[in-house]
Amino acid sequence: MDTDSVRLFVIAADLLNISAAGRQLGLAPAVAGARLAKLEKEVGADLLHRSTRKVSLSLEGKEFLPFAKEIIAQEDAGLFALGKGNPEVSGTLRFACSSTFAQLYIAPILPEFLDRYPEISLDLRFSDTQAKLIEGGYDLALRNFAIEDSAMMGRRLAEDKRVLCASPAYLAQYGTPGTPEDLVNHRLVVFGELKRDLTTPAGRHCQFPPPGALTRVQSDDGASTRLATLAGVGISMNSIWSVHRELKAGTLVRVLPDYEVDDGSAVWLVYPKSNVLTAKVRVMIDFLLEKIGSPPIWKQ
């Protein structure tokens, strides 16, 4: 397979413009079109839909794109290892992250990263709904769970301890639960649909939310869960990294403070195992470890 044609396809898929992609590689429009047609014949599928008005990715093109990016990444990494190619760290880095974590920790440090690496552009996907890395063609993602997917590689950024908390105003109005059983008489703010087991050092455990409890608010956005808790809506479970400032300031108070989620989860930087760890991914990992981890900034 001609890697120059694969590179042309990757650029065309990004720009949705074959002529513009060809210009980046010094190719005339007719030559770029012919090369892409040859690649499509080789792979046995139409990768791009063409019309007089626009270019779009076909279903097969979307499926092939992450593998095409991997081919180019491997070629570039091999050339860099031999001292060839562009010595500058460059390219577009596709990074997926929880929007809640991104608002607190990623967005504020982006200017420094971009100043440090002026040849890197960022394509960011911030959502508390987790994106599929391989299918989405992401170079790197931040996840907070125990890694079990054998197709993923990762670097541990920090621990992810989760606790129950509520606002002082809520506790003043509805009382403070003394035991896990008391939670069924309280209003709960729940993130997502998963139930979690909380434990104590002595081995006692409880489930959140407990069976029969009243869930007043259920949300797929962690920041909104925290804000609703601050507003006095109810008791919620949050990661320490999300609420450490509020706990320190006293605007949130831990509920059942002996109980916490400790299931081996952590904040990880993950990337597909099949991908070469390119220079742009390596510098992003090192930067986030420097700025956020070792120890995590919410413990400093």
85-119: pLDDT as tens digits: 555 678 889 899 989 999 999 999 999 999 999 98
Tell me, yes or no, whether 36 and 175 share the same domain: no
Tell me, yes or no, whether 250 and 270 share the same domain: no
Give the predicted TM-score (pTM) of the model.
0.66
Q: Is the pLDDT of residue 154 over 60?
A: yes
Rounded to 10 deg, the angle between the 3-15 and 29-43 helix axes is 110
279 alpha carbon, distance to own chain's centre: 19
Whether 230 maps to a domain, the answer reads yes
What CATH number did the domain enclosing 178 receive? Answer: 3.40.190.10
pLDDT category at 121 given cuts 50, 70, 90 is very high
Q: Is the pLDDT of residue 264 over 70?
A: no
- What pLDDT is stored for residue 260 in this prediction? 85
Tell me, yes or no, whether 60 and 185 share the same domain: no
Contact 46, 60 (CB under 8 A): yes
Tell me, yes or no, whether 120 and 46 share the same domain: no
- Once rounded to an integer, what is the mean pLDDT over residues 41-54? 87
pLDDT category at 213 given cuts 50, 70, 90 is confident
Tell me, yes or no, whether 198 and 235 share the same domain: yes
Whether 78 maps to a domain, the answer reads no
d(CA 72, CA 152): 19
Q: Is the pLDDT of residue 165 over 90?
A: yes
Q: Which residues contact 216 (CB under 8 A, 6 or more apart)?
A: 187, 188, 189, 233, 234
Tell me, yes or no, whether 203 and 275 share the same domain: no
Tell me, yes or no, whether 170 and 141 share the same domain: no
Tell me, yes or no, whether 101 and 126 share the same domain: yes
- What pLDDT is stored for residue 195 in this prediction? 77
Q: Strands 196-199, 120-126: parallel, antiparallel or unpaired by DSSP?
A: unpaired
Domain range enclosing 221 = 162-255
Q: Is the pLDDT of residue 152 over 70?
A: no
Tell me, yes or no, whether 274 and 153 share the same domain: yes
Contact 91, 121 (CB under 8 A): yes
- Once rounded to an integer, what is the mean pLDDT over residues 192-218? 83
252, β-bridge pairs: none
d(CA 22, CA 11): 8
- Looking at the 3D structure of the chain, how many domains does it have? 3
Number of helical H runs and strand E runs in the chain: 11, 14
Averaging pLDDT over each range in 57-66, 135-144, 162-171, 291-300, which range is the top one? Answer: 162-171
Q: Strands 152-159, 266-272: parallel, antiparallel or unpaired by DSSP?
A: antiparallel
Could you tell me the two tokens for 38?
A: 């040859």
Q: Is the pLDDT of residue 147 over 70?
A: no
Q: Name the DSSP class of 1.
A: -
Q: Is the pLDDT of residue 187 over 70?
A: yes
**Residues 265-297: tens digit of each pLDDT:** 788 888 876 556 778 888 899 899 889 886 677
